[in-house]
Homo-oligomer: A and B are copies of this chain.
Amino acid sequence: MIARLGLGFCASEMGSIWRTTRALCSPHHSSRIGRLRMSTQELLKVDIINEKQGVGEICMQKSPVNSLDRAMLAGLVDSISRLERDGCRALLITSGVRGIFSAGLNLLDLYDQQKEDLLQYWGMVQEMFLRLYGTSMLTVACITGAAPAAGCLISTSCDYRLMLDQPKTVIGLNESLVGLPVPDWMRMNFCDVVGRRQTDLALQMGLLFPARDALRIGLVDQVADSPEQLREAALQRVAQFLKVPDEGRVPSKRISTEPLLSYLSGRRQKDAELFVTSLSQESVQAVMGKYLEALRNKKA
């Protein structure tokens, strides 16, 4: 599975990306909160799992690796907004794909693209982060599978992280392996979780951490031996967090998140330009091209 993930950038759904995007804009509801139905698949399952406590869940279930293409990014933003409007106080981010949390950004959206498309795609990545990291809801990542690159970003954007202790389930910002530097705000977000030294080491080496190592450096807060145990632990932790009245919890969260939210909000265009410039380097595109070809050969 990890072999298929490769560098944390996913290219497994070649084609069929754009079909689903439009669908997102007018989703059909199948429950109170509704589910975001995509053309032929459900990318995200969104539910309120505890009405009394106000706990919502966004389950990523986009086979094979929950890659963050435009449809997924827009779906995440939309789902967060809807759960907030519905008065949720907490949000669980989970995965419905076995062995995968999210493989991160979609390589096909990054390889051999026009600059305008790249800028737009990156804007959606920023938006997803700003909405998830910036929500007043308590956010808990249930990392039941691999979470490289932007899969790690989703995790570190949450207030709490639980991770399944099983082979091949790893987490980290491994962008440097494909020749891409991690954008500064993504680095800051990671650094706020594990501290400066581990950030330097992990990002320079492109390290992916198994659950026990992730726990040791503080990249996750808790590990579990089975998905069931993980979910139960997550719900217990949510209940514990929600005992704190929102008058205390929400400002405590805001004082923590505000600096990075302000920083990125104030330089979205500049950040996008920087990223696209890094990405467009011939050497980087060459690494990606090779990687995509390897994937195609593997499938053939």
Residues of A within 8 A of B (CB): 138, 159-160, 175-182, 184, 187, 192-197, 199-201, 203-206, 218, 221, 240-241, 243-245, 247-249, 251-253, 255-256, 278, 281, 283-284, 287
**Among the listed B184, B204, B244, which residue makes an inter-chain contact with A253, where contact means beta carbons less than 8 Å apart?**
B204
User: Are A247 and B179 in touch, CB under 8 angstroms?
Assistant: yes
Minimal Cβ-Cβ distance residue in B for A187: B255
Verify A248–B178 contact, CB threshold 8 A. yes
How many identical chains are in the complex? 3
With CB as the reference atom, state the residue of chain B lying closest to A192: B196
Complex contact A244–B283 (CB within 8 A): no
CB neighbours (8 Å) of A287 from chain B are 245, 247
Query: Does A204 contact B283, Cβ atoms closer than 8 Å?
Result: no
State whether B245 touches A204 (Cβ < 8 A). Answer: no
Establish whether residues B221 and A201, one from each chain, have CB atoms under 8 Å apart when the complex forms. yes
- Contacting pair A252 B197 (CB below 8 A): no
The 7 nearest A-B residue pairs measured at CB: A176-B248, A179-B247, A181-B251, A204-B252, A179-B248, A179-B245, A203-B252
Within 8 Å CB of A251, what residues of B? 176, 181, 278
The minimal Cβ–Cβ distance linking A153 to chain B, given in whole angstroms, is 16
A200 CA to B195 CA in the complex, in Å? Answer: 13
Residues A195 and B196 in contact in the complex (CB < 8 Å), given A181-B255, A241-B204: yes
- List residues of chain B with CB within 8 A of the CB of A221: 201
Q: List 30 A-B contacts (CB under 8 A).
A: A175-B248, A176-B245, A176-B249, A176-B251, A177-B245, A177-B248, A179-B247, A181-B248, A181-B252, A181-B255, A182-B252, A192-B200, A193-B196, A194-B197, A195-B195, A195-B196, A195-B197, A197-B218, A199-B256, A201-B221, A204-B241, A204-B244, A204-B252, A204-B253, A204-B256, A205-B241, A205-B244, A206-B248, A247-B284, A247-B287
Q: Are A180 and B218 in touch, CB under 8 angstroms?
A: no
A239: shortest Cβ distance to chain B, in Å? 11
Residues of B within 8 A of A255 (CB): 181-182, 184, 187
Give the CA-CA distance A206 to B241 in the complex, in Å: 9
